[in-house]
Amino acid sequence: MLVLGIETSCDETGIAVYDSERGLLADSVYSQVDIHAQFGGVIPELASRDHIRKTLPLIRQVIADAGIAGSDIEGVAYTAGPGLIGALLVGASIGRSLAMGWDVPAIGVHHMEGHLLAPMLEDEPPEFPFVALLVSGGHTQLVRVEGIGRYHVLGESLDDAAGEAFDKVGKMLDLPYPGGPHVAKLAQQGSRGRFRFPRPMTNRPGLDFSFSGLKTFVRNTIVEHSEDGGLDEQTRADIAWAFEDAVVSTLAIKCRRALEHTGLQSLIIAGGVSANQHLREVLEANLRKVNGRLFYAKPSLCTDNGAMIAYAGCQRLLAGQVEDLPITAQPRWNLESLPAIA
Ligand code: KG4
Ligand code: ZN
């Protein structure tokens, strides 16, 4: 089945064509980062307006890149939530309308299910069941995954998401938006061991996370070490490293617990923060010790993209699920409420 995927939940317009027989045929992402960078965060109204400008031209381009015609498309998948409601409605309206015009089924996809299934697009996909660590700008969740739509959330962040903490620390360190990749880059110059930041909620049982206290710890450290001209370059890098290390260690401790708790040996990591190299290295080393296996997608499929939506939608369409005619999008949407597919 040939499926067009449309992702517009936040500040990236992601379009892809996925074929259940041949795999990913074309995939393109237009990032709005330059528009939002000047404000230090995503401005929802500007995001919606830019999706309106970019979505249709990008669909035309991706269909051409895939070497197909629009009339070849057999199903349309669009992100229906969670995300910014105006941005979601752009993708949902265009996706639903194209499907109606082409007379093919359409399906609204849960954004985090898209992330969760992105490693399935790699050459050696994981097999169910597995534990998934979802770490994006809006979510931090540990999920036991039995199959598509068979999700049990084991733990989640009680406050900031991991990516959000990276972005806020990036701002404190005067790095461009979004901070995550910039903090990671700066951390590479940091000296290990100069600072040690707390690993929140790891000394009590449970699989929930909290990153807001860590953020405050970073702020206090910055204030303490700032001279008149701010932080010196090495101290900035040392703080970035200590912060990244604290987040990575915290995530790793909870992942180990989740694997012990479920008795499973496969861990997948997904969402923007799963592109983080330090996180991958630490988890890989930990899993090797217990004969487990780590799975992740290539970096371009970790952050928001249309390919993950096309893939997830394709699985649901193949199982016979379709969206009714009304165009709906949900800014908040519980992952566990999704229907299972056999
Ligand atoms: O999944 P995503 O693209 O969008 C959401 O669904 O939120 O995740 C974006 C988040 C941002 O917070 C960004 O700073 C973070 O992922 N991120 C990273 C890295 N690359 C992206 N965080 C840490 N290290 C990275 N290399
Ligand atoms: Zn995302």
Tell me: the pLDDT tens digits for 181-224?
A: 999 999 999 999 999 999 999 999 999 999 999 999 999 999 99
Distance CA 216, CA 88 (A): 32
Q: What is the CA radius of gyration of the chain?
A: 20
Mean pLDDT of the chain: 97
Within 6 Å (CB) of ligand 1, which residues are found? 10, 115, 136-138, 163, 166-167, 178-181, 184, 271-273, 275-276, 303-304
* Ion ligand 2 residues within 5 Å by Cβ: 136, 304
Instruction: Say if CB 91 and CB 12 are below 8 A apart.
Output: no
Ligand 2: distance of its center to the CA of 111 in Å? 6
Which pLDDT band, with edges at 50, 70 and 90, does 122 fall under?
A: very high
Of 323, 10, 332, 319, the residue nearest 150 (C-alpha): 319
Three-point CA angle 35, 85, 2, nearest 5°? 90
Ligand 2: distance of its center to the CA of 213 in Å? 24
Three-point CA angle 333, 33, 92, nearest 5°? 35
Mean pLDDT of 270-280: 98
Residue nearest to atom 13 of ligand 1 (CA): 180
Mean pLDDT of 71-83: 98
DSSP 3-state helix, strand, coil percentages of the chain (rounded to 5)?
Answer: 45, 20, 35
pLDDT in tens, 249-267: 999 999 999 999 999 999 9
Q: Rounded to an integer, what is the distance from CA 197 to the centroid of its chain?
A: 25
> Best mutation site among 110, 171, 273 for ligand 1, i.e. most ligand atoms within 8 A of its Cβ?
273
For residue 203, the tally of other CB atoms under 10 A from its CB is: 8
Q: What does pTM read for this prediction?
A: 0.97
C-alpha distances out from residue 243 to 111, 173, 201, 273, Å: 27, 11, 15, 14
- Nearest atom in ligand 1 to the alpha carbon of residue 275 is 26
Tokens coding 83: 């995300």
pLDDT in tens, 150-174: 999 999 999 999 999 999 999 999 9
* For residue 95, pLDDT beyond 90: yes
Q: What percent of the chain has pLDDT over 90?
A: 97
* For residue 67, pLDDT beyond 90: yes
Whose atoms come closest to the Cα of 29: which ligand? 1
* For residue 30, pLDDT beyond 90: yes
pLDDT of 229: 83
Residues 6+ apart with CB under 8 A from 223: none
